[in-house]
Amino acid sequence: MTEEQEVFLQHIQKKGLKRTAQRDLILDMFLRTEDHLSSEDLYRLVKKQDPTIGQTTIYRTLKLLTEAGLAREVRFGDGVTHYEHNYKHQHHDHMICSECGRIIEFFSAELEAIQDAMAAKHRFQVTQHLLRIIGLCAECRRALREAEKSQTTARVGAKQASARAR
């Protein structure tokens, strides 16, 4: 049994709940991926292994995982709650591509220091923070440049053809 499984088992036993094959499967599927899963994403993954699992079981188990400190809820501004690993994972922030939805995790000691300095300046005690930087990833920026280049080439070609036709 992994450390995460042990933590989960202790948590559900404390709550007077039983270990079930469905909870074990949901935990296993959650721990296998490093993605930022929504409950729907996790449901689709688990459903492939056990078609009898319902969405309510997924919701309840995600709540248990969060309470146990194994998962953390994150919101990226898309109206959907996502879950990421929390147990023994270093704090990090997120860059989110507004075009394709790609999520890039990063840690910056410099940003952390600035946040700490701002909190101290305002005599504010930070208990938690989330930083989301929204923009365009390298692949989407490249695709946008290529699309703009194609449009410019097409416009220039159309103008030249129009000038020749006169």
Separation in Å, CA 17 to CA 25, 42, 86: 16, 21, 22
Q: For residues 93-120, give the mean pLDDT.
A: 91
CATH number at residue 70: 1.10.10.10
Q: Do 18 and 39 belong together in one domain?
A: yes
Residue 127 is part of which domain span? Answer: 90-135
Q: Do 94 and 84 belong together in one domain?
A: no
Which runs of E-coded beta strand occur in 10-158? Answer: 37-38, 71-75, 81-85, 93-97, 103-106, 132-135
Number of compact structural domains in the chain: 3
Q: Do 115 and 66 belong together in one domain?
A: no
Q: Do 120 and 143 belong together in one domain?
A: no
What is the CA 113 to chain-centroid distance, rounded?
24
Residue (of 109, 65, 66) closest to 91 by Cα position: 109
Half-sphere exposure of 23 (CA within 13 A, CB side): 18
Q: Do 129 and 80 belong together in one domain?
A: no
Q: In the prediction, which pLDDT does 60 show?
A: 97
Q: Do 57 and 112 belong together in one domain?
A: no
Confidence of residue 35 (pLDDT cuts 50, 70, 90): confident
Q: Do 76 and 32 belong together in one domain?
A: yes
Query: How far apart are the C-alpha atoms of 88 and 71, rounded to whole Å?
Result: 10
Half-sphere exposure of 159 (CA within 13 A, CB side): 6
Is the model's pLDDT at 147 over the cut of 80? yes
42 or 153: which leads in pLDDT: 42
Q: Do 9 and 81 belong together in one domain?
A: yes
Task: Please write the tens of the pLDDT for every residue from 42-85.
Answer: 999 999 999 999 999 999 999 999 999 999 998 887 889 999 98
Q: Do 81 and 20 belong together in one domain?
A: yes
> Which range has the top average pLDDT, 105-109, 135-139, 148-152, 158-162?
135-139
